[in-house]
Amino acid sequence: MIQYIFRFIPASVSLVWVIVSVSVLLFLYVQLSVLSRREPPGPRPLPLLGNLFQVDLKRLDQSLFDLSKEYGPVFLVSFGPKKVVVLAGYRTVKQALVNQANEFGNREVTPIFYDFNKEHGILFANGDSWKEMRRFTLSTLRDFGMGKSISEQRIIEECGWLIEEFDQFQGKPFDDTHTISYAVSNVLSGLMFGKRFEYRDPLLQAIVNRDNETIYLTGTASILIYNMFPWMGPWLKNWKALMKNMEDGKADLGKIITELKDTLDPDTCRCFVDVFLTQKQNLKGNNHTHYHDDNLLYTVMNLFAAGTDTTATTINWCLLFMAKYPHIQERVQEELNQVVGSRQVRIEDRKNLPFTDAVIHESQRLANIAPMAIPHTTSKDVIFQGYFIKKGTTVLPLLTSVLYDESEWESPRTFNPSHFLDKEGKFIKRDAFMPFSAGRRVCLGESLARMDIFLFFTSLLQHFSFTPPAGISEDELDLTPVVGFTLAPQPQGLCAVRRQ
C-alpha cells in the first residue's frame, strides 16, 4: 500500500519525508538520552568550594535534611570539587540500600578512612577481601555465641561488674560514659580475645578512650575539610591526633594479638583471633588468601571501635532519657517488677516487656547516634527515581531523615514510646526503624548490640533509678548531642540511686 502511494509522490518530496522522519527520531533519541542522564537537583555549587557555604559542617546531617525539604529525596551536593548524592526519607533509603543493594552497596573509602585501614578489614573495604572478611567474621562470631545464649551469659556476668561499679558512687553524680564503654568493650573482648579486663586496667582504658576520641574527631569539621582537600592533612591538628591514635591503637591491639599467636593451639580455639590465625596457617602458601596480618589487625580494630562506641553511646542515651522523663522510667521499672521481679532479666523476657522494649527502640530512634550511614558508592551506572547516577558516585544515606521521617512517625521530634506500641500496648516493629542502616552494609554486630543494649539497660533499671544531679531539674538536662562521627550525649553527671 505504501509503495503504491509513493509511486504518485515526486522523489524530492519522498526525500524530504525521510529527512524529516530521521530528524524527528534523532531529536527524540537525544531528548530521551538527556532525560535518562539527568542528574539529581541540588544547590548551585561554587567553583572549587562546591556547596560548603550552604551547609553547616558542625551538624552536616541536619543541614542535608533541611536541603532535602527543598530539593527532594534524591539531590546532589558538592563537597569541594566532589559531587555527592544524598538520599533522604525512609522509602528512598530503603529503595537504594535494600531493593537496589548491589548498585548502592560499595563503600566510599574517603581519605581519612583510607588512612585508618588502607582498605583492609571490614568497615572501609570493598571487593573480594571485604566479602571474605565479612563472611568469616559473621560466621566466627556466631560460632562463639554472638546473639546466642553464650553471649547472653557473658553480658549478664558483665552486668554484675557494672552494677558493682555504679554502687561505688553511692548515688552521687558521675559521668557514666567511660564505665559503660568499658563494660561493652569487655563483651567484645571475650569474643575477640577470650578474656575480660578490669575497668581500671590501663590497657582497656587506653584502647576505649582512644577509640572514643577517634570517633569524635572523625566527625569534626576539619576532618570533613581534609576529606575534600587531603593535601591539608599535615597542617590539621585533628588529623595529626587521629594518626597518632591509629598508630597507638595498632600497637596496643597488636600486642594482644601477638600474645595469642605465641600461645596458639589450633586444636583449642579460644576466640576470634585464634580462629583467624588457624585459618591463616591452614591456607599458608596460598598466594591469593585474604588471611593476612593486616586484615586481622584492622578487622579487630574495626569491631572494637565501632562495636564499643555505638552500643555504649546508645545505652548512655537510654539512661539520659530515663533521667529526663522520670514518669517513663517509673513505668519501665513497674513492668520489670511485674514480669521479672528480683531475678536477672533474660533475653527471653523481652517478649513480655513490651513497654520496656518500646522505650529502648524509641531511645535509639530519637538519639539517632549514626545520623549519616558510612558513605556508599555506586557499583555501576544507575537510573534511580528518574535520575542518572554515575558509577563510583559517593552516596550518603541520611539516616536522620529516616528516623525523623514525618510520613513514618507520628511525633518524630519527641520522645514517644507509643511509636512502637499498638492500641493494646503490644510491641510493634516499624519498618522505618533503621539505626543499624540496611542492605549489604548493615551493621554486622546488630544482634550482639541489641542484646547488649537490652540486658545492660534492664539490669541497670532493676537496681537503680537515674536522676539529675542535685539542684538541676529534669527540664534542665540537655539533649543537645556532642557531634562527632556519632552523636553522643553531653556529659552531665547523672546519679544512679539504688532502688529499695
Is the distance from CB of 398 to CB of 96 less than 8 angstroms?
no
- Residue 443 assigned ligand-binding role: yes
- Rounded CA Rg of the chain: 27
Phi, psi angle pair for 488, to nearest 5° = -110, 155
Q: Which residues contact 306 (CB under 8 A, 6 or more apart)?
A: 123, 443, 445
Neighbours of 382 (CB within 10 A): 18
C-alpha cell at 351: 517478649
3-state DSSP of the chain: CHHHHHCCCCHHHHHHHHHHHHHHHHHHHHHHHHHHCCCCCCCCCECCCECHHHCCHHHHHHHHHHHHHHHCCEEEEEECCEEEEEECCHHHHHHHHHHCCCCCCEECCCHHHHHHHCCCCCCCCCHHHHHHHHHHHHHHHHHCCCCCHHHHHHHHHHHHHHHHHHHCCCCCCECCHHHHHHHHHHHHHHHHHCCCCCCCCHHHHHHHHHHHHHHHHHCCHHHHHHHHCHHHHHHCHHHHHHHHHHHHHHHHHHHHHHHHHHCCCCCCCCCHHHHHHHHHHHCCCCCCCCCCHHHHHHHHHHHHHHHHHHHHHHHHHHHHHHHHCHHHHHHHHHHHHHHCCCCCCCHHHHHHCHHHHHHHHHHHHHHCCCCECCCEECCCCEEECCEEECCCCEEEEEHHHHHCCCCCCCCCCCCCHHHHECCCCCECCCCCCCCCCCHHHCCCCHHHHHHHHHHHHHHHHHHEEEECCCCCCHHHCCCCCEECCCEECCCCCEEEEECC
Contacts of 379 (CB under 8 A, 6+ apart): 102, 103, 104, 105, 106, 391
Nearest to 291 by CA among 277, 308, 302: 277
Q: Which residues carry a binding-site annotation for heme? A: 443
Q: Which residues carry a binding-site annotation? A: 443
